[in-house]
Amino acid sequence: MINKVIKIRKFKKFDTETICTLIRDTYKKFNKNEGTKEAVKNYINHYDPKNIDIKELVKRFAGIPISFVAVDKDNIIGVIRGFENRIVNLFVNGKYHNNMIITIALLE
């Protein structure tokens, strides 16, 4: 197993495209059997920066009050977004699934 220190920081507007790509790619790979093919396609398209203007994606992300990203060096490898009582998104890059011990450093 690999031991890594992953930093957690608040979401910033300039993270939007990277996070949307992470959500899209991770959902395609690990959640493709979650619902009908049409529902999966709609979910993926909802976050696809190739299909939606980045300004619209930034606007969508601004509507969620709690948003953090997980960063390994300078690479965003995870995201959690939600409200006080509900998680909207929780995605981690597949390379970081089940193969390492993660130590989290929370940053302001």
pTM, 2 dp: 0.85
- Looking at the structure of the chain, the number of domains it has is 1
pLDDT of 99 reads: 65
CATH number at residue 78: 3.40.630.30
Domain that holds residue 7: 2-106
State the DSSP code for 41: H
pLDDT of 4 reads: 73
Residue 104 confidence (pLDDT) above 80 = no
User: What span, in angstroms and rounded, lies between the C-alpha atoms of 51 and 70?
Assistant: 25
73-81 contacts at long range (C-beta below 8 A, 24 or more positions apart): 76/15, 76/18, 76/19, 76/22, 77/6, 77/22, 78/6, 78/22, 79/11, 79/19, 79/22, 79/23, 81/11
